[in-house]
A and B are shown apart, each in its own frame.
Chain A
Amino acid sequence: MKIHEYQAKELFARYGVPVPRGRVAATPAEARAIAQELGGKAVIKAQIHAGGRGKGRIVAPEEAPAMYRSLLSDPAAHEGQVRGPRVGGVRLVDSPEEAEREAANILGKVLVSIQTGPEGKPVRRVLVEEQSSVVREYYFSIIVDGATASPLILASSEGGQEIEVVARRNPDAIVRLPVNPAAGYQPYIGRVLAARLGFADPDLSAQLAKLAEGLYRCAVDNDASLVEVNPLVVTADGRLLALDAKFNLDDNALFRRQDLAALRDREQEDPLEVRAQELGIANYIKLEGNIGCIVNGAGLAMATMDVIKLAGGEPANFLDIGTVNDAQRVVNAIRVILEDPSVKAILINIFGGMARVDIIAQGVIEAFRQMEIRVPIVMRLVGTNLAEGEALLREAGISVIRAAELGEAAEKVVEAARAAAAS
Chain B
Amino acid sequence: MEINKKAYEAYVKEVTPVHKRWPSIFRAFLVGGIICTLGQLCTSLFINGGFEKEVASAWTTLILIASSVILTGLNIYPKIVKFGGAGALVPITGFANSVVAPAVEFKSEGQIFGIGCKIFTIAGPVILYGILSSWILGVIAYVLMAFGIL
- Whether A and B are associated in the same complex: the answer reads no
